[in-house]
Chains A and B, each alone.
Chain A
Amino acid sequence: MMRLDHLPNQRPNEHVVLFLRRQWFALLTIVCASVLLAGVPLAAGWYFWEILRSWLDHPVIGPLLVILGSMYFLSIWLFAFLEFTDYYLDTWIITNERIINIEQEGLFHRTASELDLAAVQDTTAEIRGILQTLFTYGQVYVQTAGEKGRFHFKNIDNPEQVKEIVSRLVEEDKRLLSAAGHVSRGKVKRDL
């Protein structure tokens, strides 16, 4: 279990400035999909209750229907939990020294990368479409100096504000490093 006050490879004087997850809209999508998948057969069962009851009373069709129904609803519950785990474990941590990007892709693929703020060249915020404009969420891209790859904060809340904070932190870090005569340490990536 990770603690925000005790990050992996934490440096002296390093503290968390921002802790980001995808916006609540992503969570709402999971809830809506699950409610829809569970609600449609329940509503159909309620509407055709007489037929359903005769099926449930049948010695062969009844148990089959209960077993299939149980498996169906348990699968929806498990699917919702898996999707939630994916949402919950996708995190971006911005400290006063680096950006940590943790991405969960399914259950068996997890990537954790970190990037020194001094290596950041450009930060871009993007809000696209009606929903993103209405609910103020979108993407932030953090481009590094010497790498083709970039960090992508997906569907986060207030991307403009996040971009401003990252830019400010990058400026501060670069100023501190140049004052101390350091060279940017670059990006470290590891697959877990």
Chain B
Amino acid sequence: MVMFELPNIDVPMYVFLCVFGAYMLFYVIYSLFNIYHLIRYGIYGFGLYLIVTIFTGGTILLVAGSMFLLLDYDWTLPLSLNDATEFYNEDLFPGL
């Protein structure tokens, strides 16, 4: 019987931050394009500036909230695929 041993691959946790960063880049580009559309083709008035301000304010709040929560984690922690099962913790599903 031939036994296969999977190579131990360690993925640092900050890889997920890179994914989040890529998403944020898409978000910013799409938002700027949308704001450009509103300002370029919208009807001049106070409402236009109000909407852009509300959207920008909401985005800042959401990103700041995310950053606040994300700061507490250790992003240098290596995530080993072989040890993935070790992350299982019975406390995660106390109801089960």
- Taken together as a complex, chains A and B put the C-alpha atoms of A77 and B57 apart, in Å, by 11
| B77 in the interface (beta carbon within 8 A) | yes
The CA-CA distance from A67 to B18 in the complex, in Å, is 11
- Other A-B contacts than A70-B63, A70-B69, A73-B62, 8 sampled, CB-CB below 8 A, are A1-B42, A51-B95, A67-B66, A74-B27, A81-B31, A81-B55, A85-B34, A88-B51
Instruction: Please state if B42 and A63 are interface contacts (CB–CB under 8 Å).
Output: no
A-B contacts counted at CB < 8 A amount to 107
A residues neighboring B (CB under 8 Å): 1-4, 19, 50-51, 54-56, 58-64, 66-67, 69-71, 73-74, 77-78, 81-82, 84-85, 88-89, 91, 102, 104, 107, 110
Report whether A85 and B70 are in contact in the complex, using a CB–CB cutoff of 8 Å.
no
Q: Are B77 and A77 in contact (CB under 8 A)?
A: no
User: A77 to B62, Cβ gap below 8 A?
Assistant: yes
Q: Which residues of B contact A63 (CB under 8 A)?
A: 13, 16, 70, 73, 75
- Is chain A's interface secondary structure helix, strand, loop, or mixed overall? helix
Residues of A within 8 A of B37 (CB): 85, 89, 104, 107
Instruction: Closest B residue to A57 by CB, please name it.
Output: B91
B31 — which chain A residues lie within 8 A by C-beta? Answer: 78, 81
Check if B82 is an interface residue, CB within 8 A of chain A: no
Q: Which residues of A contact B38 (CB under 8 A)?
A: 85, 88-89
In the docked arrangement, what's the CA distance between A50 and B94, Å?
Answer: 9
Q: Contact: B44 with A2, CB < 8 Å?
A: yes
Q: Contacts A1-B40, A2-B44; is A59 near B91 (CB within 8 Å)?
A: no
- Chain A residues near B19 (CB-CB < 8 A): 67
A147 to B42, CA, bound (A): 29
Q: Taking A59-B77, A84-B51 as contacts, is the C-beta distance between A110 and B92 under 8 angstroms? A: no
